[in-house]
Amino acid sequence: MQPISILGSDAAALAAALADRLDGRVAVVDRRERHDGDGDSTAKSAPDGGVADVQSAEATLTNPNCDTEIALAADGSWSGSGRVDGLDELLDDLAPAHDYLLVLGESRLRVPAVLLDDDVSPGDVPGQVLATASSADDVALDRLVADLDDAEPWITRETLVRRVEASSDADRSGAIATFTGRVRERDGADDDRTTHLAFETYEGVAGERMDAIAADLTDRDGVFDVRMHHRTGVIESGEDIVFVVVLAGHRREAFRAVEDGIDRLKDEVPIFKKETTEAEAFWVHQRE
């Protein structure tokens, strides 16, 4: 899923225009308002890739005993309101079933942004700024769509699981094994806490190498599909970094392929890691 954050008073207008240009399933999350600080939010999507009307994020639950309510229309569109911990939870929940996510009124690391407000500068936004303009009409939509498609997607473990489940050999599989690598705060109780890691790679090289490793593993007897993804940029403490997902006939083939996959990824894929702790910052490969 390709997410984008749109900040400014004209965010809804740009979201509607942008969704009309995007090819795929589009979700819109409006976080421009809060209701009593409880984190309520509303999202809507259209299965044809368009975008349905977005309810106000201030909409409250009809049933106070529920955490989430969803209304499903006859045409397959849906709307809802509920409480979530934050934008990351929305990104992770919506990623497996959507191609694009347009977030109005909130930004984060690894989510590119468009600024439509003179009061917000690029330095105030944690993610990459793709465009700045005074209004939605001033944004070059063709360029924005191209830049968005070139940005790193928001991939989750569940996204990769869905992809292997859609394999043509899924009916022959009896196992799906996964590995998730995440940012460890510390090795020992007395170590300085790691605040974040930053990953850099040569453009295109890491992806090609991971594809080659996945193809090698898929050639094994009993292994039907292998998917890998390594996030780049700044990954904060406790966040996921890398996923390996294997579809296989039996658990032994699945477990072996997962272990070999992550070992080969670490040994063979040129990804450079900079670690920042409470005390210092350093490139890990320079200390190995």
- Distance separating alpha carbons of residues 161 and 258, to the nearest angstrom: 13
According to the model, what pLDDT value does residue 129 have?
94
Question: φ, ψ for residue 22 (rounded to 5)?
Answer: -90, 140
How does residue 36 score in pLDDT terms, banded at 50, 70 and 90? very low
Question: Using only C-alpha atoms, what is the Rg of the chain?
Answer: 21
Cβ atoms 60, 134 nearer than 8 A:
no
Q: 3-state class of 124 per DSSP? A: helix
pLDDT, mean of residues 216-226: 98
Residue range 157-286 forms a domain whose CATH class is: alpha beta
User: Structure tokens of 53?
Assistant: 């009307």
Cβ atoms 61, 82 nearer than 8 A:
yes
So where are the chain's domains? Answer: 2-150, 157-286
Give the 3-state secondary structure percentages of the chain, helix then strand then coil, rounded to 5: 30, 30, 40
According to the model, what pLDDT value does residue 52 have?
44
What ranges in 45-176 are assigned the alpha helix state H? 87-94, 141-150, 157-165
Single-letter amino acid, residue 128: Q
Taking only the tens place, the pLDDT of each residue in 111-125 is: 999 999 777 788 888
Cβ atoms 80, 29 nearer than 8 A:
no
According to the model, what pLDDT value does residue 33 have?
64
Q: Answer yes or no: is pLDDT of 229 > 90.
A: yes
- Distance separating alpha carbons of residues 246 and 253, to the nearest angstrom: 9
Note the pTM of the prediction, 2 decimals.
Answer: 0.81
HSE-up of residue 102 (Cα within 13 Å, Cβ side): 32
Taking only the tens place, the pLDDT of each residue in 151-195 is: 989 999 999 999 999 999 999 999 999 999 999 999 888 889 999
Single-letter amino acid, residue 147: D
Q: 3-state class of 212 per DSSP? A: helix
Taking only the tens place, the pLDDT of each residue in 44-92 is: 555 454 444 444 334 455 666 666 777 777 777 777 777 767 788 888 9
pLDDT, mean of residues 232-243: 94
User: Which among 206, 249, 253 has a CA at the least distance from the CA of 228?
Assistant: 206
How does residue 31 score in pLDDT terms, banded at 50, 70 and 90? confident
Instruction: Provide the 8-state DSSP code for 18.
Output: H
